[in-house]
A and B are shown apart, each in its own frame.
Chain A
Amino acid sequence: MRLVALAARVRLGWRLSGSGPELRPGRGHWTAAGRSRSPREADTPVFQYVGERAARADRIFVWGFSFSGALGVPTFVLPGAGPEPRAGSRPRRRIQPVPYRLELDQKISSAACGYGFTLLSSKTKDVTKVWGMGLNKDSQLGFHRSRKDTIFSMGNNSYGQCGRNVVEDEIYSESHRVTRLQDFEGQVVQVVCGQDHSLFLTDKGEVYSCGWGADGQTGLGHYNITSVPTKLGGDLAGVHVVQLATYGDCCLAVSAEGGLFGWGNSEYLQLASVTDSTQVNVPRCLPFSGVGRVKQAACGGTGCAVLNGEGHVFVWGYGILGKGPNLVETALPEMIPPTLFGLTEFNPEVQVSLIRCGLSHFAALTSDDARGARGCGVWCGSHGDSGQVVHLMLLPDRLEPGPGLRATWTAQQGVRGDRGPS
């Protein structure tokens, strides 16, 4: 009896509370369901997830071929190195197909990719540190401090590309030798490294080169090795150069007036517009009339690309150039339709702002002047290699970490994107 009464009271209690909104008398009048019981909007607490002046941290993303360790994530190469238990039984990751965030304590100011290795630089208050990851067969990595305005070189010097005299039978692995290069007139503002040579650009607009010259990529008028950085002449004499580009054995230079100069290997029709010879050892002016004012140049293994003042990209050379499977080689620059970079009637102001080349792929960064947002397009050709970049596609395509990408650097088998502050 008592149990029954208790059960009945409990059931009544449940029913009373369960039908609250409809039957509760409230303040003596019926109010709409769902409104009377819920607390007033003004009384609910307000959460703050982010402060008013929160700033975005810079991030580094890596993707590509990871067996060489160039991506900087140890668990890709040695799964046993991870903190999780039983991670060693997992197979090592060969390709990282989508951008992966690299977590570092330091703020990275710039990055560069080589063949199987990566170098990052971070600026602290008085020194700039260089961090390296990847293949170290020729001591191309090494912890080293540098002050501003000085150039140091390390790595394989069999062709003198480090700027010092070639020593016969020198062993390059495990070498701590780092050379400081000082024989330039003026400050060096840009250094670009090709396969076996190096080019330096000073603030006066002069170009110096050293290294292997069998294809004429040193541009000094001969096909020999140069061990000491030497100034270039030819069509570049008296021209103020603002940007250099090289990756394989062909070199391009952009002048302040928007002109384009090239020298080096021309087996893939990179310089075929001005000469029929396959090796050009003196810088020659490339007068492309349809391109307009050249803002940036990028040179890959077999193809070249330039960016003009209006944000259009022109490609020429050999290989997969980005204009469909039918265009395999061309000697004259062809423009890539801006619709492939996201230009629609919805976004009419999309322009390409940065281009880079890897050995057989290109990357472009777009920027929308009206919105300030940026996207990244990567297109590449595979000459048998797989998984070089996100998509083995002929068409420039947007990647996910699109907005806010400040710069991308490409390597033969890996790509890096660095997210800027905005």
Chain B
Amino acid sequence: MGSRRLALARLHGLFAVYKPSGLKWKHLRDTVELQLLKGVNAGKPPAPEQRVRFLLGPMEGSEEKALTLTATSVPSLTNHPLVCGPAFTSLKVGVGHRLDAQASGVLVLGVGHGRSLLTDMYNAHLTKDYTVRGLLGKATDDFCEDGRLVEKSTYDHVTREKLDRILALIQGSHQKALVMYSNLDLQTQEAYDMAVRGLIRPMNKSPMLITGIRCLHFAPPEFLLEVQCMHETQKQLRKLVHEIGLELKTTAVCSQVRRTRDGFFTLDDALLRTQWDMHSIQNAIQATAPRVAVELEKSLRPGLGTPAAPQP
């Protein structure tokens, strides 16, 4: 009883954190779990149970010096934290779509009963938004800026039009793949209605598919892309930058991958490093709970009920 249990009862649901680059997702999850445990254990403990013990003590108001047994109610020490340690030693925290160590951005975590919502989010196959920063003129072995240099090349022939053309080509071929992997019979009216609403996308395993890609900023050698994709890994996004460089007849590496939206969690919902404590997380869970419920219910409705990415 007490505020600890209440605090724990409010810790069930989904929330998003901002993962800085350089941190592994597993360490982040462990850190969040530790901070939550600290918060829960710091709450007021329940009042200790009382038990009756017969204590030997001098009788009051008597002149005899003999010790007699008196019944007293003393607190029981069996649940004292100094005896058996903190009340809660582990909390079940799950991670949604992972981010690798060099990437940064929105990472969705689930606590307690919220972990089943993580599975639902995965099965909804929603798209994610990334901003990817590339650097022309270099090629490395792991497509990152600090990898082993493989080749350097000139890039003064690259213009914004050529880059836009390559991006349109990529988007077009992925559009075809979206339709193919969605396993829809295109001759039906339902397929037509879904296509009109822009909802065609695969609802089971598929390779990385890009639903939208465009260049936000181009200042050679740097360029900034915004990618909307699904079923991706960050390494595949870096490889995409490398392949864009090859298509432009030069080379490119990726200097930053940042996730700006994961399903319906955006950067505004993501908690910063300073906010990874129990109260902020509880507030975040409560703030996003209605939106999560609505979106997941929409997406799990059979047939036409699969939403595309919400407005960013």
- Could you list which residues of chain A lie within 8 angstroms of chain B, going by C-beta atoms? 34, 38, 41, 44-54, 323-326, 337, 339-340, 342, 344-347, 368, 371-375, 393-395, 397-404, 422
Q: Which residue of B lies closest to A393 (CB)?
A: B186
* 13 more A-B residue pairs beyond the given contacts A46-B154, A371-B214, with a C-beta to C-beta distance below 8 A: A46-B137, A49-B154, A50-B249, A324-B189, A324-B192, A326-B189, A346-B214, A347-B212, A373-B165, A394-B187, A397-B176, A401-B169, A402-B169
Pick from B20-28, B51-59, B107-115, B194-202 the stretch touching chain A. Answer: B194-202
Contacts of B164 in A (CB 8 A): 371-373, 403
Asked if A372 contacts B195 (CB within 8 A), the reply is: no
Determine if B250 is an interface residue (Cβ-Cβ < 8 Å): yes
Contacts A46-B152, A51-B157, A344-B198 given; does A323 touch B192 at CB 8 Å: yes
A-B contact pairs, 6 of them (CB 8 A): A47-B152, A47-B153, A372-B164, A375-B168, A395-B179, A398-B172
Task: Return the chain A residue nearest B192 by Cβ.
Answer: A324
Q: Are B161 and A422 in contact (CB under 8 A)?
A: yes
> Taking the nearest CB of chain A, how far is it from the CB of B293, in angstroms?
24
Closest to A49 in B: B249
Is A47 in contact with B168, judged by CB distance below 8 angstroms?
no
When chains A and B are docked, how far (Å) is the Cα of A402 from the Cα of B189?
Answer: 26
CB distance from A195 to the nearest CB of B (A): 29
Highest count of chain B CB atoms <10 Å: which of A368, A371, A374, A401: A371
Instruction: Say if the beta carbon of B282 comes within 8 Å of chain A.
Output: no
A400 and B153 in contact, given A326-B189, A373-B167 (Cβ under 8 angstroms):
no
* Candidates B168, B186, B214; contact of A394 at CB < 8 Å: B186
Contacts A394-B192, A399-B172, A422-B161; is A48 near B154 (CB within 8 Å)?
A: yes
B158 to chain A, nearest CB (A): 9
Q: How far is the CB of B2 from chain A (nearest CB, A)?
A: 49
Which chain B positions have C-beta within 8 A of A402?
168-169, 172
Whether B260 sits at the interface, judged by CB under 8 Å, is no
- Contacting residues, chain A, for B157 (C-beta < 8 A): 50-54
Docked complex Cα distance between A14 and B312 (Å): 58
B32 to chain A, nearest CB (A): 32
B62 close to A (CB within 8 Å): no
Contact partners of A50 in chain B: CB under 8 A: 154, 157, 249-250
- Contact code string B130-162 (vs A, CB < 8 Å = 1, else 0): 000000010000000000110111101100010
Please give the distance in Å from B62's CB to the nearest CB on chain A.
82
Q: Give CA–CA (A52, B175) in the complex, Å.
A: 32
Whether B189 lies near A52 (C-beta < 8 A) is: no
Q: Is B187 within 8 A of A325, CB to CB? A: yes
Q: Tell whether B173 is near chain A: CB-to-CB under 8 Å.
A: yes
Alpha-carbon gap, A63 to B206, bound state (A): 28
Q: Which residues does chain A contribute within 8 Å of B274, judged by CB atoms?
A: none
Q: How far is the CB of A344 from chain B (nearest CB, A)?
A: 6
Instruction: Decide: B196 and A339 in contact? CB cutoff 8 A.
Output: yes
Q: A404, B165: Cβ atoms under 8 Å?
A: yes
Q: A393-B186, A404-B165 are in contact. Are A342 and B196 (CB under 8 A)?
A: no
Binding site for A on B (CB under 8 A): 137, 148-149, 151-154, 156-157, 161, 164-169, 171-173, 175-176, 179, 186-189, 191-193, 195-198, 211-212, 214, 228, 249-250, 308-309, 311
Residues of chain A contacted by B189 (CB below 8 angstroms): 324-326
**Contact: A340 with B196, CB < 8 Å?**
yes
In whole angstroms, how far apart are the Cα atoms of A344 and B197 in the complex? 9
Find out whether the CB atom of B154 lies under 8 angstroms from the CB atom of A47.
Answer: yes
Specify the chain B residue showing the minimal Cβ separation from A40. B149
Chain B residues within 8 Å of A52, by CB: 156-157
| Cα–Cα, bound, A41→B152 (Å) | 9
Taking CB atoms, residues of chain B closer than 8 Å to A337 are 196
Q: Whose C-beta in chain A lies nearest to the C-beta of B164?
A: A371
Contact between chains at A345 and B186 (CB < 8 Å) = no
How far apart are the CA atoms of A340 and B176 in the complex, in Å? 12
Give the residues in chain B near A48, CB-CB below 8 Å: 153-154
Inter-chain contact B175/A398, CB cutoff 8 Å: yes
| The 5 residue pairs across chains A and B that have the minimum distance between CB atoms | A324-B192, A346-B212, A373-B168, A398-B172, A403-B165
How far apart are the CA atoms of A51 and B250 in the complex, in Å?
Answer: 11
| Chain A residues whose CB sits within 8 angstroms of the CB of B214 once the complex forms | 346-347, 371
Contact A340 B168 (CB under 8 A): no
Closest beta carbon of chain A to B190's beta carbon, Å: 9
- Chain A contacts of B173 at CB under 8 A? 398, 400
CA of A45 to CA of B139 in the docked complex: distance in angstroms?
Answer: 12
B198 cross-chain contacts in A, Cβ below 8 A = 339, 344
Q: Are B195 and A49 in contact (CB under 8 A)?
A: no
Q: Which residues of A contact B161 (CB under 8 A)?
A: 372, 422
Nearest B residue to A326 via CB reads B189
Do residues B175 and A342 form an inter-chain contact, with CB atoms below 8 A?
A: yes
Asked if A395 and B195 make an inter-chain contact with CB atoms under 8 angstroms apart, the answer reads yes
Bound: A55/B250 CA distance, A? 15
Q: Which residue of B lies closest to A56 (CB)?
A: B162
Query: How many whole Å from B15's CB to the nearest CB in chain A?
Result: 26
Find out whether the CB atom of A400 lies under 8 angstroms from the CB atom of B169. Answer: yes
Point out the residues of chain A lying under 8 angstroms from B172, CB to CB. 375, 398-400, 402-403
Contacts of A47 in B (CB 8 A): 151-154
Q: Is the CB–CB distance between A46 and B153 below 8 Å? A: yes
Give Cα distance in the complex from A344 to B192, angstroms: 16
Task: Please name all residues of chain A whose beta carbon is closer than 8 Å to the beta carbon of B195 when the two chains form the complex.
Answer: 339-340, 395
A403 engages B249 (CB within 8 Å): no
Give the complex CA separation of A47 and B245 in angstroms.
13
Docked pose: A323 CA to B154 CA in angstroms: 48
A368 to B213, alpha carbons, bound, how many Å? 13
